[in-house]
């Protein structure tokens, strides 16, 4: 079953300060983690053999996961702990009881706050566990059967009305959770995993991240960007960060900040770009960093980010990644250690190398009029990775994300609006008849009523405004609107339509956007 990510419906509100804390380097701890565990947690958690504590010592999770557990201790159980002690503990627990890179693979979208992700879990997990919060919240934990069982007990004890809700009252939720979900979760997400042991003994030292990184990114509604991120050491596992880059349209992307490394690879940065604080959630391994960088106050405004350490050899991206058969275009290769002449495959010729450095090569390309439509592997010397799309005509247009949620806000309240941000992806048809992705194209954007109901309620008029050139949708103000039927709020159910021009021919694609109310509960892992 496919599900959209959304926030939990918990009674427990997370302190906002707690989320901020994860991204800021902690000062040298006044108290060490062992002391805090003893003095702050041991009151309720029973000491066990080998310096262990009940519950706490039998789970592994991400830094966000540990932060949420401890924040829950504060909101639900009256735990008193200073922000500084909590930071020390999250760091210690994420380092000693974290997840190996392979264990977070495929579910990093939750930490990266890609809230429009449509999750792919089996039906039972989606219905039993993924209906109040993301399935990723479950997949980002490791426990033995007993700890999964206690988690189930905690859920029912904390939220007894759970059994009367949809997808529970039609079945014996508690019995299924204990008898079917617990064994399944213990098998799928076990506490003991050789990958974690291996990572603990082989994780590179964090000093290895110090240096200059060449990066490439893409921000929906704005376009591609590239630049250099400089990282200097600033304490153990903490860094100073400075970013110097530029969007393809010339807009600068410069700023400074700091970062902290958890679990040997979980990079969490806080960088202020042009006065706006952005968070970095990256997996930093060896010479590669990858993840998402998004505005702290607007996680929907974020860019896909990939970086290679200078001195290493890697080809990261081709911007833009397409060329039309029979035409000439300028593209930029981004990477590190780039040398030699790039090759773009059959039917594509390098007319001129405009500029060349180890981080960027700008070239003028020409695709032959009869070049076969499809993907070409791009190479520079022995380096490969990205591909170039050659097309003669666009076959179809997709709106990305296909399903999305925007939220009304402000209107006198303190909750910001959550925008909708879209890309128009052009797709071609290969010689084999199979569709292939050409790339993101400029488009003209509009919204329409999704159905009769939305038409009748005039959702298009009230729910917000689509910016025609960028595909950025800004929802309406929060609160009741006397101009609407029954003074309802500015929610809406809309089609998102992109029109892409291909040599005078207009092709359209369609997505679906729900404009809904504010997200009141916004935990670090949705």
Binding site for ligand HEC (CB under 6 A): 8, 10, 12, 14, 40-41, 43-45, 55-56, 59, 65, 68-70, 72-73, 76-79, 81, 89, 128-129, 131-133, 137-138, 141, 150-152, 154-155, 159, 162, 177, 181, 185, 523
Distance (Å, whole) CA 373 – CA 375:
7
Classify burial at 393, counting beta carbons within 10 Å of its beta carbon; exposed 0-12, middle 13-18, buried 19 or more.
middle
Calculate ∠ Cα 516-301-104, nearest 5°: 95
Nearer to ligand HEC, 135 or 373 (CB): 135
Residue reference for tokens 């990305």: 400
Task: Name which of 185 and 388 has its Cβ closer to ligand HEC.
Answer: 185
CB nearer ligand HEC, residue 132 or residue 273: 132
Minimum CB–partner distance for residue 176 and ligand HEC (Å): 9
Q: Which bin fits 508, alpha (ψ -120 to 50), beta or left (φ > 0)?
A: beta
Q: In terms of CB distance, is 82 or 232 closer to ligand HEC? A: 82
CB of 111 to ligand HEC, least distance (A): 14
What tokens does 341 get? 């002449």
Closer residue to ligand HEC (CB): 79 or 395: 79
In the bound state with ligand HEC, the residue whose beta carbon lies nearer, of 151 and 325, is: 151
- Least distance in Å: CB of 118 to ligand HEC? 19
In angstroms, rounded to a whole number, what is the distance separating the alpha carbons of residues 290 and 217?
10
In angstroms, the CA 416 to CA 478 distance is 9
* Euclidean distance between CA atoms 367 and 351, whole angstroms: 10
What token pair was written down for 126?
A: 């989606």
Closest CA to 332 of 212, 223, 470, 254: 223
Task: Return the number of the residue (6 or 45) whose C-beta is nearest ligand HEC.
Answer: 45
Residue located via tokens 């997505």: 511
239 with 210: CB under 8 angstroms? yes
Closest C-alpha to 215, from 250, 257, 252, 245: 245
Query: Nearer to ligand HEC by C-beta: 11 or 354?
Result: 11
Min. distance of Cβ 185 from ligand HEC in angstroms? 6
Query: CA 288, 294, 298: angle at the middle one, nearest 5?
Result: 170
Measured from the CB of residue 403, what is the shortest distance to ligand HEC in angstroms? Answer: 21
Q: Min. distance of Cβ 108 from ligand HEC in angstroms?
A: 16
> What long-range pairs does 255-261 form, CB within 8 A, spacing at least 24?
258/24, 258/25, 258/234, 259/23, 259/25, 259/231, 260/23, 260/24, 260/25, 260/26, 260/91, 261/206, 261/209, 261/237
Minimum distance of ligand HEC from residue 91's CB (angstroms): 12
Supply the minimum distance, in Å, between the C-beta of residue 516 and ligand HEC: 18
CA distance 44 to 65: 20
Residue placing its CB nearer to ligand HEC in the complex, 20 or 228: 20
Residue 85 or 425: the one with the smaller Cβ distance to ligand HEC is: 85
Smallest separation, CB 172 to ligand HEC (Å): 13
In this structure, how many other beta carbons lie within 10 angstroms of the beta carbon of residue 203? Answer: 18
Nearest distance, CB of residue 96 and ligand HEC, angstroms: 12
Q: Which residues of 396-430 are buried (b: 16+ CB within 10 A; e: fewer)?
A: ebbbbbbebbbbbbebeeebebbbbbbbbbbbbbb
Smaller CB distance to ligand HEC: residue 169 or 198? 169
Q: How far is the CB of 394 from ligand HEC (least distance, A)?
A: 43
């Amino acid at each position: 079953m496919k599900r959209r990510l959304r926030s939990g419906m918990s009674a427990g509100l997370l302190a906002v300060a707690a989320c901020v804390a994860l991204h800021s380097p902690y000062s040298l701890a006044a108290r060490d983690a062992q002391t805090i565990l003893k003095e702050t947690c041991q009151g309720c958690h029973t000491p066990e053999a080998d310096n262990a504590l009940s519950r706490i010592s039998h789970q592994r999770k991400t830094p966000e996961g540990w932060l949420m557990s401890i924040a829950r201790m504060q909101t639900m159980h009256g735990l008193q702990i200073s922000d500084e002690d909590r930071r020390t503990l999250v760091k210690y627990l994420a380092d000693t009881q974290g997840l190996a890179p392979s264990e977070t693979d495929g579910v990093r979208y939750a930490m990266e706050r890609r809230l429009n992700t449509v999750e792919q879990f089996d039906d039972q997990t989606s219905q039993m566990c993924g209906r109040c919060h993301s399935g990723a919240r479950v997949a980002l934990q490791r426990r033995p059967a007993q700890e999964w069982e206690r988690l189930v007990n905690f859920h029912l004890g904390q939220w007894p009305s759970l059994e009367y809700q949809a997808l529970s009252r039609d079945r014996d939720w508690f019995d299924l959770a204990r008898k079917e979900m617990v064994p399944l979760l213990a098998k799928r997400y076990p506490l003991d995993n050789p990958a974690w042991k291996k990572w603990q003994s082989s994780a590179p030292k964090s000093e290895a991240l110090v240096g200059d990184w060449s990066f490439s990114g893409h921000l929906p509604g704005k376009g591609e960007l590239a630049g250099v991120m400089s990282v200097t050491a600033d304490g153990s596992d903490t860094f100073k960060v400075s970013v110097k880059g530029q969007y393809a349209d010339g807009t600068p992307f410069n700023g400074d900040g700091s970062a902290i490394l958890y679990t040997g690879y979980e990079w969490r940065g806080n960088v202020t770009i042009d006065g706006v604080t952005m968070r970095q959630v990256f997996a930093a391994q060896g010479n590669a960093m990858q993840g998402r960088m998004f505005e702290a106050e607007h996680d929907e405004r974020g860019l896909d980010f990939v970086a290679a350490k200078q001195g290493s050899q890697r080809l990261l991206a081709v911007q833009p990644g397409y060329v039309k058969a029979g035409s000439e275009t300028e593209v930029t290769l981004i990477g590190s250690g780039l040398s030699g002449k790039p090759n773009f495959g059959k039917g594509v010729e390098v007319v001129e190398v405009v500029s060349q450095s180890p981080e960027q090569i700008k070239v003028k390309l020409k695709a032959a009029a009869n070049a076969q439509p499809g993907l070409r592997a791009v190479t520079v010397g022995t380096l490969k990775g990205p591909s170039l799309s050659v097309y003669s005509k666009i076959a179809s247009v997709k709106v990305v994300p296909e399903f999305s949620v925007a939220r009304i806000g402000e209107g006198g309240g303190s909750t910001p609006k959550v925008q909708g941000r879209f890309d128009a992806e052009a797709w071609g048809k290969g010689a084999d008849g199979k569709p292939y992705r050409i790339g993101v194209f400029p488009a003209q954007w509009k919204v329409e009523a999704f159905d009769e109901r939305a038409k009748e309620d005039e959702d298009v008029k009230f729910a917000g405004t689509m910016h025609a050139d960028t595909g950025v949708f800004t929802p309406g103000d929060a609160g009741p609107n006397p101009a609407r039927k029954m003074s309802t709020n500015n929610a809406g159910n809309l089609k998102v339509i992109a029109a892409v021009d291909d040599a005078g021919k207009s092709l359209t694609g369609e997505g679906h956007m729900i404009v809904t109310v504010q997200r009141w509960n916004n935990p670090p892992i949705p």
